[in-house]
Structure formats: structure tokens, C-alpha cells
Amino acid sequence: MECKVYTLNAFTKQSKGGNPAGVVLQSDFLSDEQMQTIARKVGFSETAFVQHSKVADYMIRYFTPVQEVDLCGHATIAAFQLIRQTGVGNGIYKIETKAGILEVVIESEYIYLSQALPTFDKVIEPDEIVQSLYILETDLNLEFPIQIVSTGLRDIIIPIKNKEILHNIQPNFQEITTISKKYNVIGYHLFTLDTERVIASCRNFAPLYDILEESATGTSNGALTCYLHKYKALGSGSYLFVQGEAMQQSSLIITRLLVNTHDSVDRIEVGGTAGEIQIQHIEI
């Protein structure tokens, strides 16, 4: 049997860069094993499978090349860019995911995914993390902690002192895998505030899921936005993040943060644009 898979880059920057995702529409007929096979053969960090839902407008399941994950920001942006081509207009749509029922907002060329409200978990001592990145503790921005944060997927958020250090990091992926298993996280999300015209420049490593480095990670930047709010660096507003520069795959991620009068997060959205649609035919 042959399956049609649409591929496109999400979080593009001036129609370039971004993070490639696979999308399969009307995928209810596929078994879990077939979806995993397709994701492995497509080979991107995530492939999204759009299905019918009894409680939302769509259900979306997300598979990396090695296993299913609860949520993926860039694959959702890619899926809705494709859905929009079928005639779906601007508006708010609900999606059923394993991270809960979330909203997708289509506004002109931009697509935004709401995320779960943030949870803040363990603060990790620097010495454990810096060894896996082959850096020194003095290479960290010590104004911020290393902490596990989630808006749907758990990541270790790691503050780096400046852009030069960030882009020169050559990590120990085996050690990151070990630490990711230990703390039950997807991977590392590194950032620096040493930037111009954007809030932060980021890198993301998730070797536990066979993703050595990812050029745009929506969920991680949503978590990072909430983390920066917690530590008094951001309030309500829209913010730009750049990721993938070290991969020569520069990507632009927009986050929108709404904070209430009690200084708690009421809503976090991650959005961007998606590029040209291509088609693969995968034998399963």
C-alpha cells in the first residue's frame, strides 16, 4: 500500500529555512505501526497524522522516526498550512492531541498553536549539564537557572552567556541522551539573550528521539517564553525567536504571551509561516 505524505518547512524566515515536517491527511485508516513506519521513512524530526475527532475539529498525532510524542509545534503549523490549502479560512480551530485539546489560530499567512499552561519542574545543577555540552559553568548566563519546563513537552532550558558560545557548542549526544532519560525530558533547549531584533537565539538537541539538532522547535520556544516571564524578563506581548542558525537553517518563531493581573500565564501561543508544499509517496 502506498501513502501520500506532504512535506513542507514550518517557521520559515522570509520563505527560507524553517523545520521540515511530514503531514498525512485523513490518516484514520493507518495503524500505529504504519504511522511509525511512515515517520521513519520520511525521516524528518516529526510527521503529523491528521484524523477525525469526536471532541475537536481535528485530531493530530505526531511521530518522530523512533516513537510517538504528545505534541509538535512545527508539524502543527505545517499541517494547518496544508489544511488551509483545502479551503479552510481564517479562524480558531480546536485540535485533539495527547497533550490535550488545544487551539490553532489562522490569521492571514500566520498560523498559531496554543499550548498547555506552563509547568516548572526541577532546577538542575550546572555541573551535570555543562559536561555534556563541553562548556564551562562560566559560559552559562548565571542570572537564570537550568530548569525543566513544559508547555506540552518537557525540555531542559539552558541559558548561555552569548551567541558565540552558543553557536560553537559541539555537544556530547550520548551524554545528553543519558541525562534526557534520567529526567524524563525530550531534550535540551539552549538560548542566549545576546541578540539583536529578536528576544533570543536558540539551539535544540533531542538525541533521545533520534533528533540530534532541530532547526525550529515550537513547543520549546513556548516553554522558553514562559520561563523568561517567570524570571521577570518578559511580560504580555509578542516575541520573536530565531533558531537553526548554527545549522545554516535559520528559522523564525513567534510567541504570544498573555499574562493576567496576578502575573500568571493565561495563554501561550507559538506561530509562524510555512513554505512550499511537496509530495512523497511512501510504501507501507
CA distance linking residue 280 with residue 283, whole number of Å: 10
The pLDDT mean for the chain works out to 96
Q: Taking a C-beta distance cutoff of 8 angstroms, is the pair 9, 253 a contact?
A: no
Rounded CA separation 269/132 (Å): 31
pLDDT greater than 90 at residue 85 = no
pLDDT in tens, 15-28: 889 999 999 999 99
pLDDT, mean of residues 173-186: 98
pTM (two decimals): 0.93
Q: Is the model's pLDDT at 86 over the cut of 90?
A: no
Distance of alpha carbon 64 from alpha carbon 48, whole angstroms: 9
Mean pLDDT within 203-223: 96
* Closest by CA position to 201, among listed 241, 249, 247, 170: 241
pLDDT of amino acid 87: 87
Mean pLDDT of 30-49: 97
Give the mean model confidence (pLDDT) for residues 169-187.
98
Q: Which of 46, 96, 213, 245 is catalytic?
A: 46
Is 243 within 8 Å of 258 (Cβ atoms)? no
Share of the chain above pLDDT 70, in %: 100
- Sorted by where each starts, the structural domains of the chain and their CATH numbers stand as 2-115+273-283 (3.10.310.10), 119-270 (3.10.310.10)
Q: How far apart are CA 168 and CA 157, in angstroms?
A: 18
* Type and span of the H or E element at 78: helix 73-85
Percent of the chain with pLDDT over 90: 96
Tell me whether residue 46 is one of the annotated catalytic residues.
yes
Residue type, 29: F
* DSSP letter string, 39-76: HHHH-SS-EEEEE--SSSSEEEEEE-SSSEES--HHHH
Average pLDDT value for residue range 33-54: 97
Average pLDDT of the residues in 139-144: 97
3-class state of residue 146 by DSSP: strand
Phi, psi of 182 (to 5 degrees): -60, -40
| 284 CB neighbour count, 10 Å cutoff | 14
Please compute the mean of the pLDDT values over residues 51-57 and round it to a whole number: 98
Average pLDDT over residues 231-244: 97
| Average pLDDT of the segment spanning 32-57 | 97
